[in-house]
Structure 1
Amino acid sequence: MKILIVDDEVNIAHGIRSMLLANLSFAVSVRCASSASDAIDQAAQFKPDLLITDIRMPRMSGLELIDQLEAARLCTHYVILSGYEDFNYAQEAIRKGVADYLTKPVEKEYLLSMCTRFNNQLQQVCLRQQDIDLPEYEFLKWDPYQDEYPESLKKIIRFIEQNYMKSDLSGSSISDALFFHHSYISQLIGKHTDMNLSGIIAYFRLKKAMELLLAPQNYRVSEVSQLVGFSSERQLYKVFQKYLFCTPVTFKHTCEQEFPAK
């Protein structure tokens, strides 16, 4: 998740940034801007998922900044920073579609819960099917929806497809959820496919990781790894190298050269 904080009081912006980096449990990249014009320049390059901006700033207000970023489609969620005396401005912002507002001084727990909520929303959006052509790697030619698979195997595959983004997905968690013994799951997969359990989980994670790496939002590798269920960026690298024989960065650069954006 990418967050841009805008406040002409630099100490406030950097204080919020430090609070987020020290306490959020998911991958996040946070930048600060000291003016609306600086924010516009940064947003054009950074493309934040969330903008947190002060309302009252010199030359251009936070509301005017939001209007410009929204018109240019440079951000998807907006939150305003306001002093208590700015409550009427906060109400106006909410009417304009701003998702939330924070009062100064910022309450830590509310800030963290708010960012977590937006991150969850972002995950749901990212994990929807995207219209992106992927290269035909041998590993990805497996068809998980074969009619001849027994219903119990189809049930296991559907569960993995619906839960691959959870970092704690494992044989044990699948066994507990579906009431299948772990050894039965392994035997069933081995009997009817050329895959194993970890390979099936990797299949769904890799397909979505590839889509996200090529998406126009320009997600960082660290963000992609978190969105598809890996507990670290290093895990994503290892799975890419094991099954696709390349790194995520190499994959992205190669595809951008061979399959330019339409």
Structure 2
Amino acid sequence: MRILVVDDELIIRKGIIKLLETLYQAGASLDEARNGEEAMQKVAEHKPDLIITDIQMPIMNGLELIGALRNAYPDIEWVILTGYAEFAYVQQALRHQVADYLLKPVTQENLNEVISKVLLKDPAKWTSRMDMASISIIKDIVTSLVKAVISENVPELDSALDKWRIYCQEQEFPLIQIKQMMGYVQLLFRSELFLNIKLSAPDESSAINQSSMSIEELLDKWRDYLLAQMAAVADNRAPRNKRIVDDVLLYIEQNYHDPGLGLSVLADRTGVTTAYLSKIFREVMRKPITQYIGEFRLEQARRLLKEDETAKINAIAEQCGFQDYPYFSKVFKKFFGISPLEFREKNR
């Protein structure tokens, strides 16, 4: 993949090059130009796949550059750089069918997202040397691998790799061609993974390809790489899961009196699905969320029965989220081994 960065400000230009080097440790050819006129020369010499250009530049600005090259090089993808004050130019650029834009100052996350969107918009464009059947298989394999990594599903990962192994063997691809295709697999895998969970997987395609002497060794090393990404996803997810559960625990503490408090309410509050919240709550707290709510309410009821001797037991039950007094009495006795009335008499 050949990328040209065009900006008249040296610091910005070098900064974007540095971010791109972080994104692509290997597998990308990076070049730069100070203005549109210099960029025209670079395009004629190297025919880049993607151009990231500033709008406001001397000699020839970004919009003029796009207009001059769009017809001659229709396959080039364009991303424009703009500040908030120049945002009106974005609409003009979009009329030139620009793929996306980046607001200054450019961050690694924003750059990763934009590049990933460009790559996934038309994967066949970046795999043009392959036949359509191989491109289709690669897209399916990448989708399966990303799904397996995100869900931490090793059998699904192995199934996807086996499908790819069988396809390569059936087509009798030489090892050098499989290595090239695996470069495309990684390119799309990293892009799709980032767009799904904002996690940047390292670019190790070059190192894996160079050190592999057979298809079996190549795919075994890719499996190790993907398992490492799965572990990274788990590590990245754990602190977030803990924060979600902590937020849920605090909300339960503050709203246990609400009889409508339950899994769906808590999932809506935290912005995750009920299935996902149920799963991570079990992992962190070692018990179902409904069980935790019920036990928390019972502990609060026991505290109030002990602290407030004048309050009616059914009022305390309602105060703790229990609308049905017989049910409250039943679960209280089951949990503490004594009825609410007996508990109160015992603690007078």
Q: Specify if TM > 0.5.
A: yes
Point out the more displaced range, 226-235 or 31-40: 226-235
Q: 1:81·1:103 contact (CA, 8 Å) conserved in 2?
A: yes
Point out the more displaced range, 110-119 or 198-207: 198-207
| Counterpart Cα distance in 1 of 2:126 and 2:175 | 9
2:3 is equivalent to residue 46 of structure 1 = no
Q: Secondary structure at the residue paired with 2:3? A: strand
Q: 1:6·1:32 contact (CA, 8 Å) conserved in 2?
A: yes
Cα distance, 1:112–1:54 mapped onto 2, change above 3 Å: same
Show structure 1 runs of 5+ residues with no match: 133-156, 186-196, 213-220, 244-262
Q: Which residue in the other structure is 1:215 paired with?
A: none
Cα distance, 1:164–1:236 mapped onto 2, change above 3 Å: farther
Measured after TM superposition, the shift of residue 198 of structure 1 is: 4.6
Point out the more displaced range, 64-73 or 19-28: 19-28
What do the CA deviations read for 1:201-235 (whole angstroms, capped 9, x no partner)? 3665947975x9xxxxxxxx97x651155953365
Q: Which residue in the other structure is 2:27 paired with?
A: 27
Q: Secondary structure at the residue paired with 2:27? A: coil
Q: 1:55·1:62 contact (CA, 8 Å) conserved in 2?
A: yes
What do the CA deviations read for 1:93-129 (whole angstroms, capped 9, x no partner)? 1122112222221233111111122123353334468
Q: Secondary structure at the residue paired with 2:30? A: strand
2:60 is equivalent to residue 60 of structure 1 = yes
Cα distance, 1:209–1:34 mapped onto 2, change above 3 Å: farther
| Counterpart Cα distance in 2 of 1:126 and 1:41 | 23
Q: Which residue in the other structure is 2:85 paired with?
A: 85
TM, length-normalised to structure 1: 0.56
| Counterpart Cα distance in 1 of 2:4 and 2:175 | 26
Equivalent residue for 1:227, pick from 171, 174, 184: 184
Q: Which residue in the other structure is 1:69 paired with?
A: 69
Cα distance, 1:122–1:59 mapped onto 2, change above 3 Å: same
Q: 2:49·2:77 contact (CA, 8 Å) conserved in 1?
A: yes
Cα distance, 1:226–1:205 mapped onto 2, change above 3 Å: farther
2:9 is equivalent to residue 4 of structure 1 = no
| Counterpart Cα distance in 2 of 1:73 and 1:128 | 16
Cα distance, 1:24–1:59 mapped onto 2, change above 3 Å: same
Paired residue type of 1:233: S
Q: Which residue in the other structure is 1:103 paired with?
A: 103
| Counterpart Cα distance in 1 of 2:138 and 2:78 | 31
| Counterpart Cα distance in 2 of 1:101 and 1:162 | 25
| Counterpart Cα distance in 1 of 2:15 and 2:60 | 22
Point out the more displaced range, 114-123 or 50-59: 114-123
2:9 is equivalent to residue 36 of structure 1 = no
- Structure with greater contact order relative to length (CA < 8 Å, sep ≥ 6): 1
Equivalent residue for 2:168, pick from 177, 186, 201: 201
| Counterpart Cα distance in 2 of 1:205 and 1:47 | 32
| Counterpart Cα distance in 2 of 1:6 and 1:67 | 15
Q: Secondary structure at the residue paired with 2:53? A: strand
Point out the more displaced range, 97-106 or 26-35: 26-35
Q: 1:55·1:80 contact (CA, 8 Å) conserved in 2?
A: yes
Q: How many residues align?
A: 191
Q: 2:101·2:114 contact (CA, 8 Å) conserved in 1?
A: no
Q: Identity of paired residues, percent?
A: 32
Q: Which residue in the other structure is 2:230 paired with?
A: none
Q: 2:52·2:79 contact (CA, 8 Å) conserved in 1?
A: yes
2:61 is equivalent to residue 94 of structure 1 = no
Q: 1:79·1:98 contact (CA, 8 Å) conserved in 2?
A: yes
| Counterpart Cα distance in 2 of 1:94 and 1:36 | 18
Show structure 2 runs of 5+ residues with no match: 147-153, 188-203, 216-348
Q: Secondary structure at the residue paired with 2:87? A: helix
| Counterpart Cα distance in 1 of 2:155 and 2:176 | 24
Paired residue type of 1:110: N
Q: 1:54·1:82 contact (CA, 8 Å) conserved in 2?
A: yes
| Counterpart Cα distance in 1 of 2:54 and 2:26 | 25
Cα distance, 1:200–1:72 mapped onto 2, change above 3 Å: same
Aligned counterparts, 1:247-258, within 5 A? none
What do the CA deviations read for 1:136-164 (whole angstroms, capped 9, x no partner)? xxxxxxxxxxxxxxxxxxxxx9x967656
